[in-house]
């Protein structure tokens, strides 16, 4: 059962990295970003291009890839989302359009072949008799550190306080002299960056492929619905629930049932508690 504990933790950490950014940008800027999966895919592709095509060492390529995608997120927010922000539906459509455009651009540039990103850690570790590749453990550790860092940033810094203020009431925050637009840019950078980091960390043990952003996007959405849109602690709890239930289902029933877990979780949540575990208000 130690296996379930460890593998479940890895899945949960990756899900949490994806879901926190997704819920953050919604909580602060009310942007339901359907292009969130694209950040994940772009992160993986950036790592692939830098390492495999340009020969950049992996430990430089990884942060570089995250920065590039964070920049892409900021550009997207500034030039595509911001002009449309008065209409939530228009924002939804433009982010969907971005995700389709990104996927198609990846198809045209790289074709549909699977691409490979080298492992950060080649070793295999054994924890209490459970074999786990170093790369997975790295994803777990990085995920925990990123979430911890994010929490400290929001709770302990002035900028974090500003982000909290904007998420509670953007207009009041603006009257207090908080530059809301700049806060939106920063939050978008964080959101895109964490998704990209997840993409970079998993690509060595998964694979890099143009449609790779779709499933994580669906998962992130499911987690955020379960956890409550806009709630960071809620999405972390939901990540743990989903990560572990998928692992448990894979062990006790069959791997062919795991993809159903998130859908069932969404249906149950919407039936019992539509605002999610820790949702402060109804989503829309």
Partner 1 sequence: MDSFLRPLAAASMIVAGALASTAPASAQQAPIKIGIPTSVQLQVGRDTQNAAKLAIEEINAKGGLLGRKLEMVVADETENPEQGIAAIKKLTADDKVNVLIGGYTSGVTLAQLPHISNAKTIYIGVGAASPAITAKVKSDYDNYKYIFRAFPINAAHQARALVDFINGKLKGEMGLKKIAIVGENAKWVQDLVPILKKGATDGGTDVTLAEFFDTSTSDFSPLFAKVKNSGAQYLIVVLSHASSDIFVKQWHDAQVPIPIGGIDVKSQDADFFTRVSGKANAETVGMFAIRAPLTPKTIPFWDEFVKRFGTAPVYTGIGAYDSVYVYADAVKRANSVEPDAVIKELEKTDHVGIAGKLVFDELHDVKTGPGLQNLLFVQWQKDGARVVVWPKEAATGPMIAPPWMSN
Q: How many residues contact partner 1, by CB under 8 A?
A: 42
Binding segment (CB under 8 A) for partner 1, from list 70-78, 152-160, 233-241, 246-254: 246-254
Contact call for residue 36 and partner 1 (CB under 8 A): no
- Percentages helix, strand, coil for the chain (3-state, rounded to 5) are 75, 5, 20
Residues 6+ apart with CB under 8 A from 89: none
Query: For partner 1, which stretch binds (CB under 8 A), given 59-67, 82-90, 207-215, 225-233?
Result: 207-215
Backbone torsion region of residue 169, taken as left when φ is above 0, otherwise alpha when ψ lies between -120 and 50, otherwise beta:
beta
Whether residue 248 contacts residue 205, with contact meaning beta carbons closer than 8 Å, is answered with no
Q: Which of 259, 263, 267, 282 binds partner 1 (CB under 8 A)?
A: 259
What is Dmax (Cα atoms) for the chain? 58
Structure tokens at 60: 């430089």
Q: Which stretch binds partner 1 (CB under 8 A): 63-71, 119-127, 144-152, 234-242?
A: 119-127
- Give the start-end residues of each E strand in 91-210: 124-127, 130-133
Residue choice 33, 95, 231, 247 for contact with partner 1 (CB under 8 A) = 247
Q: How far is the CB of 146 from partner 1 (least distance, A)?
A: 20
153 near partner 1, judged by CB under 8 A = no
Residue 15 sits in the site that holds partner 1 (CB under 8 A): no
Q: Residue 250 in 3-state DSSP? A: helix
86 is a site residue for partner 1 (CB under 8 A): no
233 belongs to the binding site for partner 1 (CB under 8 A): no
Q: Is 114 in the site for partner 1 (CB under 8 A)?
A: yes
C-beta of residue 118 within 8 angstroms of C-beta of residue 204: yes
Q: Rule CB under 8 A: say whether 119 interacts with partner 1.
A: yes
As a whole number of angstroms, the distance between CA 146 and CA 21 comes to 11
Q: Supply the Cα-derived Rg of the chain in whole angstroms.
A: 18
With tokens 């002035």, the residue in question is 158
Distance between CA atoms of residues 212 and 14, nearest Å: 14
Per CB under 8 A, 109 contacts partner 1:
no
| Cβ proximity to partner 1, 60 vs 101, nearer residue | 101
Smallest gap from residue 231 Cβ to partner 1 (A) = 26
Residues that bind partner 1 (CB under 8 A): 3, 7, 11, 99-100, 103-104, 107, 111-116, 118-119, 122, 124, 130-136, 204-207, 209, 211, 214-215, 247, 250-251, 254-259
């Amino acid at each position: 059962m130690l296996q379930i504990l460890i593998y479940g933790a890895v899945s949960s950490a990756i899900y949490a990295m994806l879901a926190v950014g997704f819920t953050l940008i919604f909580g602060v800027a009310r942007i339901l970003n359907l292009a969130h999966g694209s950040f994940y895919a772009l992160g993986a592709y950036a790592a692939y291009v830098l390492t495999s095509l340009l020969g950049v060492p992996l430990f430089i390529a990884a942060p570089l890839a995250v920065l590039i995608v964070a920049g892409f997120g900021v550009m997207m927010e500034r030039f595509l989302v911001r002009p449309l922000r008065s209409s939530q539906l228009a924002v939804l459509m433009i982010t969907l359009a971005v995700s389709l455009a990104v996927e198609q651009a990846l198809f045209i540039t790289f074709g549909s072949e699977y691409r490979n990103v080298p492992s950060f850690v080649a070793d295999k570790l054994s924890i209490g008799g459970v074999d786990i590749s170093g790369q997975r453990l790295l994803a777990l550790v990085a995920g925990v550190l990123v979430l911890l860092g994010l929490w400290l940033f929001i709770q302990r810094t002035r900028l974090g306080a500003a982000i909290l203020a904007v998420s509670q009431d953007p207009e009041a925050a603006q009257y207090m002299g908080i530059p809301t637009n700049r806060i939106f840019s920063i939050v978008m950078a964080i959101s895109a960056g964490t998704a990209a980091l997840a993409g970079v960390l998993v690509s060595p043990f998964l694979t890099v492929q143009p449609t790779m952003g779709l499933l994580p996007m669906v998962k992130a959405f499911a987690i955020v619905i379960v956890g409550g849109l806009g709630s960071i602690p809620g999405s972390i709890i939901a990540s743990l629930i989903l990560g572990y239930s998928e692992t448990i289902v894979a062990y006790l029933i069959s791997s062919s049932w795991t993809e159903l877990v998130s859908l069932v979780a969404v249906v149950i949540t919407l039936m019992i508690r539509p605002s999610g575990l820790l949702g402060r208000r109804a989503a829309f």
